[in-house]
Amino acid sequence: MSDISSVGVVTPQTAHFSEPLALKCGATLPAYVLVYETYGTLNADRSNAVLICHALSGTHHVAGKHHEEDKHPGWWDNMIGPGKPLDTNRFFVIGVNNLGGCHGSTGPSSPHPETGKPWGASFPVVTVEDWVHAQSRLADQLGIKTFAAVVGGSLGGMQALQWTLTFPDRVRNALVIAAAPNLTAQNMAFNEVARQAIITDPEFHGGDYYEHSVVPRRGLRIARMLGHITYLSDDAMGAKFGRKLRTGEIKYSFDVEFEMESYLRYQGDKFAGEFDANTYLRMTRALDYFDPAADYDGNLSAALAKAKADFLVISFTSDWRFSTARSREIVKALLDNERNVTYAELTAAHGHDAFLMPDQHYHDIVRAYLENVE
Amino acid sequence: MTHVPVQAHVHFSQAASERRDFTAIAQWIAPGAKVLDLGCGDGSLLGYLRDTQSVRGYGVEKDDANVLACVKNGINVIQMNLEEGLAGFEAQSFDVVILSQTLQAMYNTERIVQEMLRVGKEAIVTFPNFGFWKHRFQLIGGNMPVSKNLPYQWYDTPNVHLCTISDFDNYCRQHHITVRERLVITEGKTIHLFPNLLGSLAMYRCGIAP
């Protein structure tokens, strides 16, 4: 049965860029590709485009499915589609895989233009600013001068915020969801443990594991397991698993005994089988380095003075990795600059993952905000 | 700074013109002023002030349904609990801070007016006058007052800090708050004689003495 609120079957597209891209780290990417998907129709004056920025492990596949029997729709399919909060009957929505990714856009597993071998360790460390630059070139190619909105959760929210700073005249609304103006030491610490798990995996080979035909699966698996713990709240894990045993009895072993262990191992295994370890390292570094206030002596209000967009900032009460207090910092800096800003602090049990959940009130807020976007 | 008007934009000026307290507040606000409305509800006061005085406004509201209503109405709203103070707002960053019929429902009442005058150059506070004769009569009759402005029963009321006009005058004096203007109304009419007895709604424009 076809779902009328789904964008249906979508086909990813590839944009080629031959103009070199200077990166924040000092390196230059000579040429690159970005894989993207679009939903809805670009209107005549090209004013209804919405860019979706993905988080750590996200992709360009934001909504719809890749074939009729596809059981796994895009990662934000509950938010985007005909009649959904981000209504593709009104908006032309773009999902793009970021540079350094592993889903088709140029990244560490892509062939190096000179050697033809995977970039591996030599692929530069990319930043949120670099992504925004690359995304802007995609917008150029599609003939989009300004976005009606740039939208993202978590690391995606950071990109939405960065858009308003790098290209203040090209984004009319920014939806910054479950994000932060930078990572706290504790938050970065989780990233460091994740990276150490990968880097110390004997099959990492300094990042050039492709040529050994292996992948640092164990490291990536542990990194993902750790991540999942931080994306859920204590309450959500308690409600979902509690102390439930898989077989109903304790076995005095180190096998999977508790349901929670089964969940973490499943998520870890699944992720390790499909994600690139070098990409994971770079995504976490992009998170660590994001800090728009750094150039302004830590003064976020001064950093956001450039922004011209209107903002919807959303946080979730049980999100401890990107806490409500961090979103409030963004809101305060926007208030200091007299930006139009609405801040919704949503009561949610799911922790950081709440930004992906189909909560009615959350969706109502996003829908109501976007209905007022011209 | 003007919010983009929308297709189904709600126009507040008409519906709200009936509300005497709205028109009174509007008279106290200069065109184009920067306004913070604490406990802004569905944003109708801010919408009215936007449409009539072209204010640049923000609302503060804790209730989910009200926040959603504000978003629908195109009102800038910050979801937070007023009881926690106004730490997210810089000192003297607003021309006017409004607390419209919310004072009596607050726990941290003593602190909030001072917070309003830290954040705003001026504060507008309105509250139902507990000293209104109808309330006094009901108390003499032996029951907690229930009226148009106090529509709750004692067991379900959100109001925890009710006061009379005389009480609020004393409060201002004790806390070095200058009352720049006071307006007392009943059924939309201004009350000049015996306001603490005949007035049902009290409205104050306050500041800090220079």
At B28-49, the pLDDT tens digits run: 999 999 999 999 999 999 999 9
Give tens-digit pLDDT for A80-106. Answer: 999 999 999 999 999 999 999 999 999
Asked if residue A297 has pLDDT above 50, the reply is: yes
Residue A347 tokens, joined:
């009561």
Measured in angstroms, the CA of A142 and the nearest CA of chain B are apart by 26
For residue A1, the model assigns a pLDDT of 45
Q: Are A342 and B64 inside 8 Å of each other by CB?
A: no
Q: Report the residue from A332, A346, A347 with minimal CB separation from B88.
A: A332
Tell me what the mean pLDDT of segment A31-36 comes to. 97
Q: pLDDT tens for residues A172-194?
A: 999 999 999 999 999 999 999 99
**Is the predicted pLDDT of residue B8 greater than 80, yes or no?**
no
Q: What is the pLDDT of residues A213-262, one digit of tens each?
A: 999 999 999 999 999 999 999 999 999 999 999 999 999 999 999 999 99
B3: pLDDT strictly greater than 50: no
Tokens of B80: 């937070």
Q: Measured between beta carbons, which residues in chain A are less than 8 angstroms from residue B74?
A: 372
As a whole number, mean pLDDT of residues A313-328 equals 97
Residues in contact with B26: Cβ distance below 8 Å, sequence separation at least 6, in sequence order: B48, B49, B52, B53
Our answer to whether residue A109 is catalytic in this structure is no
Find the residue in A nearest to B89 (Cα): A332
Higher pLDDT, A132 or B3: A132
Decide if A158 contacts A290 (C-beta within 8 A).
Answer: yes
Shortest CA distance from A333: residue in chain B: B88
Name residue A374's amino acid: E
CA distances from A337 to A304, B2, B57, B185 (A): 7, 14, 13, 37
pLDDT on residue B153? 96
**Are A372 and B78 in contact (CB < 8 Å)?**
no
Could you tell me which residues come within 8 angstroms of residue B157 by beta carbon, excluding any fewer than 6 positions away?
B150
Task: For residue A352, indicate whether it is catalytic.
Answer: yes
Alpha-carbon torsion angle B36, A177, B1, B99, nearest 10 = -10
Q: Residue B6 above 80 pLDDT?
A: no
Query: The whole model's pTM is what?
Result: 0.94
AA identity, residue A211: E
Predicted ipTM of the assembly: 0.94
Across the interface, of A341, A361, A365, the residue whose CB is closest to B76 is: A341
Please answer yes or no on whether B68 and A343 come within 8 Å at the CB atom: no
- Whether residue A40 contacts residue A91, with contact meaning beta carbons closer than 8 Å, is answered with yes
pLDDT (tens digit, 9 = 90+) per residue, B108-160? 998 899 999 999 999 999 999 999 999 999 999 999 999 988 999 999 999 99
The continuous run of DSSP H or E covering A264 comes out as helix A259-274
Question: From the CA of A43, how many Å to the nearest CA of chain B?
Answer: 17
Lowest-confidence pick of A131-140, A202-211, B58-67, B108-117: B108-117
- Separation between Cα atoms, residue A78 and residue A84, nearest integer Å: 7
Is A205 annotated in the active site?
no
- Reported as a pLDDT band with limits 50, 70 and 90, residue B19 is confident
Q: How does pLDDT run across A253-274, given as a tens digit for each residue?
A: 999 999 999 999 999 999 999 9
Pairing of strands A80-81, B34-38: unpaired
3 state SS for chain B: CCCCCCCCCCCHHHHHCCCHHHHHHHHCCCCCCEEEEECCCCCHHHHHHHHHHCCEEEEEECCHHHHHHHHHCCCCEEECCHHHCCCCCCCCCEEEEEEECCHHHCCCHHHHHHHHHHHEEEEEEEEECCCCHHHHHHHHCCCCCCCCCCCCCCCCCCCCCCCCHHHHHHHHHHCCEEEEEEEEEECCEECCCCHHHHCCEEEEEEEECC
Among residues A136, A154, A318, A323, which one is catalytic? Answer: A154
Per residue in A136-156, pLDDT (tens digit) is: 999 999 999 999 999 999 999
Q: Do A332 and B89 touch (CB under 8 A)?
A: yes
Structure tokens at A184: 């706290």
Task: Say how many CA atoms lie within 13 Å of A326 toward its Cβ.
Answer: 25
Looking from the CA of B202 toward its CB, the CA atoms found within 13 Å total 27
User: Interhelix angle for A277-289 vs A185-199, to 10°?
Assistant: 160
Contact with chain B for residue A365, Cβ under 8 A: yes
**pLDDT for B121:** 97
> How many other C-beta atoms can be found within 10 angstroms of the C-beta atom of residue A200?
12
Helix (H) or strand (E) holding A14: strand A13-17
Task: Say whether residue B97 is in contact with chain A using an 8 A CB cutoff.
Answer: no
- pLDDT band (50, 70, 90) for residue B12: low
What is the structure's pLDDT at B20? Answer: 85
What residues of chain B lie within 8 A of the CB of A364, using their CB? 68
The residues, any chain, with a CB within 8 Å of residue B38's CB and separated by 6 or more, are B60, B82, B86, B97, B98, B99, B102, B112, B116
Mutate to test the interface with B, among A176, A340, A367 (most CBs of B within 10 A): A340
- Average pLDDT over chain A reads 96
Above 60 in pLDDT, residue A2? no
**Antiparallel, parallel or unpaired: β B34-38 and B94-100:** parallel
Q: How far B2 CA sits from the closest chain A CA (Å)?
A: 8
Q: Could you give phi then psi for residue B104, rounded to 5 degrees?
A: -70, -15
- Binned at pLDDT 50, 70 and 90, residue B9 comes out as very low
Residue in A87, A130, A319, A353 annotated catalytic: A319
In which residue are the tokens 């939405």 written?
A160
Q: Which of B90, B41, B87 is nearest to B61 (CA)?
A: B41
Quickly list DSSP for A294-306.
Answer: GGGTT-HHHHGGG
